[in-house]
Amino acid sequence: MPGTVPLEYLLTAILIGMALLCGVATAGTFTYTIGDRVPLNGTAYATNTMYIFATGPGLDPDGVNPAQMKSPVVSGDPSTFVQVDVTNDRWSYIWNTAHQGFSLREGTYTLYAVSQPVGKNDLPAVYGSIDISLSRNGVSLPATGTITFNTSPSGARVYVDSQSVGATPKSLDTATGPHTLRIESPGYQTILESVTVNGGETTAIEKILVPVTAVITIPVLSPTTQVTITTLPPVPAGITTQTIPLTAGIGIFATSISSLLWCNHRKK
């Protein structure tokens, strides 16, 4: 008895069995020149609408509308996707690479066809996709590039798109397009940087790590009133100061007055 096909595969089977007219297939990747019209078609069951989005060099990693490639798709919002009607279980769409409001980069783009309006980060178990390599001279470009990391001192931990990839020195093959980099080492300042990887090319990241400078905070004391006490030098031993008794002083003063009055009386 032949095996049964799971229901979910019947619902969206062969989402993209893409018969790409005029394309040149190379190891599963179809090559076109920027400016070409890329015809896509496929088969889909139990759905009336297919939602198309694209990823690629310089584009939002969750996907963009292939008719307006500056516009990211939003999961749950059908208006952000290219919507294609399904008729007799068949659908078709032509991707025009010439009119995007800006010049597409050379590199490999992935076109997705999904029966739900969701981006790459929310893809269901069943969907269709195909890689399209765009070039300016008709030569297929690799879908990956290389990043080399070197730091002084070495041994710094490297993160690409928040994923640890090892310590410096390090060489990494990664998908074309934009990536975020983070380089960390204990006692040194963290380095944050963005880089765009081109297909078949090597991007070198050379960094001199800067030590973290310790900041010493000196508390500032509020001014206070200070009282200075000055002591006189001690009096040498054996030297005494004479004190005049109060009564003696009064007696001398009285005698002087009496003598002065007597002299004045005799002159008269």
CATH assignment at residue 158: 2.60.40.1120
**Dihedral over Cα of 37, 65, 105, 43: its sign:** negative
Q: What average pLDDT does this structure show over 68-96? A: 92
Q: Are 77 and 36 found together in one domain?
A: yes
Q: Are 82 and 122 found together in one domain?
A: yes
Label each residue of 123-142 as H, E or C: CCCCCEEEEEEEECCCCCCC
- Domain end: 117, 135, 153, which one? 135
List C-alpha distances in Å: 162 to 56, 61, 86, 179, 180: 19, 14, 39, 10, 8
Q: Are 131 and 167 found together in one domain?
A: no
pLDDT at 36 over 80: yes
CATH assignment at residue 41: 2.60.40.2550
pLDDT bracket for residue 62 (50, 70, 90):
very high
- Domain end: 155, 182, 208, which one? 208
pLDDT at 229 over 50: yes
pLDDT digits (tens, 9 = 90+) for 94-137: 898 875 556 688 889 999 999 999 999 999 888 888 999 888 77
**Dihedral over Cα of 162, 167, 173, 177: its sign:** positive
Is 221 contained in some domain? no
Q: Are 72 and 27 found together in one domain?
A: yes
Comparing 72-86, 141-155, 184-198, 245-259, which segment has the lowest mean pLDDT? 245-259
pLDDT at 85 over 90: yes
Name the DSSP class of 200: T
Report whether 110 contacts 52 (CB < 8 A): no
Q: Are 159 and 118 found together in one domain?
A: no
Domain around 170: 144-208
**Paired tokens of 100:** 């995007």
Number of independent structural domains in the chain: 2
Is 2 contained in some domain? no
In the prediction, which pLDDT does 60 show? 92
In the prediction, which pLDDT does 219 show? 61
pLDDT at 42 over 50: yes
- Domain end: 118, 135, 152, which one? 135
| Average confidence score pLDDT of the chain | 76
Q: Are 16 and 128 found together in one domain?
A: yes
Q: Are 126 and 153 found together in one domain?
A: no
Q: Are 81 and 154 found together in one domain?
A: no
Summarize the chain as % helix, strand, coil (round to 5): 15, 40, 50
Q: Are 122 and 150 found together in one domain?
A: no
In the prediction, which pLDDT does 7 show? 34
pLDDT bracket for residue 17 (50, 70, 90):
very low
- Percent pLDDT > 70 in the chain is 65
Nearest to 143 by CA among 170, 111, 106: 106
